[in-house]
Amino acid sequence: MTTVIDGNAVASDLRDRLTGRIDDLATEGVTPTLATVLMSDDPASETYVSMKQSDCEEVGIATRDVEIDPDAPAERLFDTLDDLNSDPEVDGVLVQMPTPDQVADSEVIRRLDPMKDVDGFHPENVGLLVRGDPRYKPCTPHGVQHLLDHAGVETEGADVVIVGRSNIVGKPLANMLLQKTAGGNATVTVCHSRTDDLAAHTGRADIVVAAAGVPELVDGSMLAEDSVVIDVGVNRVETEDGSTLVGDVAFDSASELASAITPVPGGVGPMTRAMLLYNTVKAAHLRRDLAFDG
């Protein structure tokens, strides 16, 4: 019998905890503030930004909504980031990716004050994570780690196979699970599109994390009995009636083997959103030298 891990419930618990931290900050006269920067007219990006803002408002984080003409020169964005970096009231800055062609994403990430980099993508924050002294863990892998912990899944000594090596999911997650700390101490294999015989890897894993962006790439035939399956993928696929969201895991066949599994939607997605709030509240503490115990 498989357990379906309810990401909405776990995210809701985390948001409640953060609301308590935000109330404590209010007694010190501090309101955590997140600035979102959108340089795109892509409807999906607009939706993501407005979802992030309403998540913030729900828990008491203030938002700044900065929109930049997608045809503007890169300097316009960099000047905006400089202003936000030096604004003492802004704790976190999130630049919605992708940015237009004239702006290199890597330059945007480097331009941010690392203390305000609540995505955790700045090279300084990546370095701290790799060294085992994380400041801001990137939201999606942090969400995966939190879900595993919440579901009582022991990572110490576990054979973990991550499918996907992106800078935002696969690589940081591999680093996090490797650390000599609680929620780490796993033996980690990272697979990618050039991996020879993916099923040979997933089929011997205690924990499989699928983050490839390929609909239903991992099915039950590729899993060991009683493994834990975390599905990061979000893929929109056409159906007879329109379209639907599916993950990177074939849920029905995987559920027959897995001891625990995350659904899509309702698994990792809500955790990613909650972890942005977590990092923003953490930033509000760190920038004022206040202790933050999560």
Residue numbers of the site for ligand NDP (CB under 6 A)?
Answer: 140, 163-166, 168-170, 191-195, 198, 211-214, 217, 232-235, 268-269, 272
Least Å from the CB of residue 16 to ligand NDP = 20
287 is in an annotated binding site: no
Of 103 and 144, which has the nearer Cβ to ligand NDP?
144
Length of the chain, please? 294
Of 26 and 44, which has the nearer Cβ to ligand NDP?
44
Burial 237-269 (b: 16+ CB within 10 A, else e): eeeeeeeeebbbbbbebbbebbbbbbbbeebbb
Least Å from the CB of residue 95 to ligand NDP = 15
Of 31 and 166, which has the nearer Cβ to ligand NDP?
166
Residue 61 and residue 57: Cα distance in Å, rounded? 5
CB 160 within 8 A of CB 207: yes
Largest CA distance in the chain: 56
Residue 74 and residue 81: Cα distance in Å, rounded? 11
Locate 46 and state its tokens: 């607009």
CB 192 within 8 A of CB 177: no
Least Å from the CB of residue 88 to ligand NDP = 31
Of 207 and 217, which has the nearer Cβ to ligand NDP?
217
Of 182 and 199, which has the nearer Cβ to ligand NDP?
199
Least Å from the CB of residue 98 to ligand NDP = 11
20 is in an annotated binding site: no
165 is in an annotated binding site: yes
**What are residue 62's phi and psi, to 5 degrees?**
-80, 150
Least Å from the CB of residue 8 to ligand NDP = 12
Task: Give the three-state DSSP class for 60.
Answer: coil
Locate 102 and state its tokens: 């004239």
Of 31 and 195, which has the nearer Cβ to ligand NDP?
195
Residue 157 and residue 138: Cα distance in Å, rounded? 23
Residue 114 and residue 91: Cα distance in Å, rounded? 11
58: CB partners within 8 A, 6+ apart = 15
Least Å from the CB of residue 195 to ligand NDP = 6
DSSP conformation letters of 246-286: E-SB-HHHHHHH-SEE--SSSSHHHHHHHHHHHHHHHHHHH
Give the residue numbers annotated as catalytic, written as ranges: 52, 96, 119
242 is in an annotated binding site: no
Binding-site residues for NADP(+), in ranges, read 164-166, 234
Return binding residues: 164-166, 234
